[in-house]
Amino acid sequence: MGQIQKIILDTNLLISGFGWGGVPKQVCDLVESGRIQNFTSEILILELQEVLSYSKFPFSEALKIRIVAFLLSYSTVLHPKISVSVLPDKNTDNRVLECALEARADCIVTGDKLLQSLHPWSGISILSPAKFLESSFID
């Protein structure tokens, strides 16, 4: 078995995975099993909590707590010292990139097309959940 890959799970992947299952949930399951290592930051945790409060996601309080607990339980929380301004900062796309640089991540897994359009960026792959599962990142 090779080295465990370091990834960043974007907020949209967590919401999709826990809200609807499918391929995004399969990526979360890989993190939970320890086959890949996830990294996050305080600002990305706050973003997740904010997005979970949107009325378009009518998740139960129990599910919201479960999603945040998953992120906290299965991630290394970083405090990036690097600042980038690669994308127009709608939401926190640049914060995702900063976290990836700080973690020396191999891949960002996201459903965000704007982030995906950067692939590859600074030696970091930026893939959809489906492309990630098809990639060589998983032993």
- Cβ(68)–Cβ(28) under 8 Å? no
Q: Express each pLDDT in 64-105 by its tens digit.
A: 999 999 999 999 999 999 899 998 866 689 999 999 999 999
Establish if 86 belongs to a structural domain: yes
Element (H, E) at 108: strand 107-109
- The answer on pLDDT for 131 being more than 90 is yes
**Residue range(s) defining the domain that contains residue 127:** 5-134
Establish if 112 belongs to a structural domain: yes
Establish if 139 belongs to a structural domain: no
Domain count along the chain: 1
The CATH number covering residue 100 comes to 3.40.50.1010
How far apart CA 44 and CA 134 sit, in angstroms, is: 26
pTM of the model: 0.93
- Cβ(86)–Cβ(94) under 8 Å? yes
- Can you tell me the mean pLDDT for 23-50? 96
The fraction of the chain above a pLDDT of 70, given in percent, is 95
- What's residue 89's pLDDT? 66
Tokens read off for 67: 């999603």
